[in-house]
């Protein structure tokens, strides 16, 4: 089983299109029941649902980028 890590220090330097690809990769990993962790201040927090993943990105990403990654349905 793979372990996927979300590090927002790294996300700060990615282009929005790459962020979108990474988010899709994390969503796929969650669908396949792989381990996805959010890293902040040297601590890891396990993410188990897509809703939880969206909430974290809503808090951490600038709103314009969030809307590009998660367009309203």
pLDDT per residue as tens, the chain (73 positions): 678 888 777 776 777 778 888 889 999 999 999 999 988 878 899 999 999 999 998 998 888 888 888 888 7
Coil, strand or helix at 6: strand
Total residue length of the chain: 73
| Bridge partners, residue 6, by sequence | 38
Domain that includes residue 8, residue range: 3-69
pTM of the model: 0.79
User: Between β-strands 35-40 and 3-7, what pairing exists: parallel, antiparallel or unpaired?
Assistant: parallel
Tally of structural domains, the chain = 1
What are the CA-CA distances from residue 64 to residues 11, 16, 41, 57, 72 (Å)?
A: 15, 10, 25, 12, 12
């Amino acid at each position: 089983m793979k372990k996927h890590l979300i590090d927002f220090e790294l996300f700060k330097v990615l282009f929005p299109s790459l962020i979108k690809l990474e988010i899709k990769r994390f969503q796929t990993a969650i669908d396949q029941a792989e381990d996805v962790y959010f890293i902040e201040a040297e601590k890891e927090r396990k993410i188990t649902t897509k809703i939880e993943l969206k909430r974290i990105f809503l808090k951490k990403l600038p709103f314009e980028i969030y809307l590009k990654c998660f367009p309203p349905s």
